[in-house]
Structure 1
Amino acid sequence: MTGVVDRIVNLLKWPVGLLSLGLLPGVAVGFFEVLRRVLNNPQPMMLFGIGFTLYYVVWFLFFRRRIAGSLFSTFEHELTHAIFAWLTLHRVQGLKATWNRGGVMTYKGKGNWLIYLAPYFFPTLTVPIVIYLLVVHGATPEWVDALLGATMAYHITSTWRETHREQTDLKEVGFIFAFLFLPTANLAFFGAILAFAHSGLESSYQFLVTSFQISDGLWSSLTNA
């Protein structure tokens, strides 16, 4: 079964890459529209913004340089690989993280591009908080919103730090595909979470729908010109 899933996922690789490129204009416009709404009415985002800013300042002052080590971010990176290995029905055999020598996650089977690229677009620490907020539906301590912002800042800074030419994951899937897929995937996740933090789940859904509609309209106008 694992082999079948891998073949299907890998078969979809380039269609997904091209679709991501096609959706990028709409996702970018949709993201800036969400950002505009946030700037026009920042009050619902105050705690999110505080958490985001505090983490970014701490990262910039203490964790930005590689000499600071990266045990936690390495563990989170490998855990994200493991999550997508599980989601595509692989049996994870081991996970190792070190302070300054990277880490490794091993699993049974050949693998697929989703496993390799997952840490570069999926906010592993943020998603559980979003799920928690949806389940409890408003009856949460205020610090949870700040934590949501902090985890989003963590995802952005760790992804920035981990995305470089020597990254073996990116070499494995190919830089061209990574270039096609990752910008859209990151903007989509960040825009959806920003919209959720500001106005709730319906706003996230509307952001995604609007982004698709903008891209669809753009490409339709170009092909009909």
Structure 2
Amino acid sequence: MDASAEHAMIAVPAGPVTLSDRRTQRSWTVEVAPCLIATYPVTRALYARVTGERSGAAEGGELPVEGVSWWDAVRFCNALSEREGLTPAYLLPPDGVGDVERDTSADGYRLPTEAEWEHACRAGTAGPRYGPLDEIAWHRGNSEERTHEVGGKRPNPWGFHDMLGNVWEWCWDVYDAEVYGSYRVLRGGGWFDEHWSCRASVRRRSHPTFRVDDVGFRLARSAGH
């Protein structure tokens, strides 16, 4: 994969998406504005080129980066924005402690909201997945318990690869501040997950400093920039 394809973006149309949470048995509908979301999860090669850091235990530049925290992901977004002359989307606390604020007017890279993520994942489909699981995702049943190069499975109808399986993906949103504090949302399922976790609606949560070998992220940008 050449460098330009590593963070190629697909235009996501506006539209409603209904999110649900099995823990609380709650559902809610969000009107998603037009946005841009990356075709693939961020790769190890792109992450290393932008940050100068290697991340995760697996080898291979076209594998999805993993072992990155939510904090790592937002810092990466800002670093890539600055590298490309764009306005960073995040205002980071100077000492690395405190809340991250999002500049909604910025044209730089950011994490998708979970509504944007699910809207892009579903790509107009209504079922739990956008195709047969083995054809679209690396999961516990076919991954040999490791990540695989991005783009190796069939894309969804809008052209996104690896939305389900391979690695979980950090989203911008706080999961449930009243119950879990600063925990952030993860979406998509990963290479170690059973089939029931690799569905468009499944929500997972973790502390923003959490790093593990089946969690990565995907880039987004606001439309109109």
Task: With the length of structure 2 as denominator, give the TM-score of the two structures.
Answer: 0.27
Task: With the length of structure 1 as denominator, give the TM-score of the two structures.
Answer: 0.27
Of the two, which has the highest radius of gyration?
1
Q: Which structure has greater strand proportion? A: 2
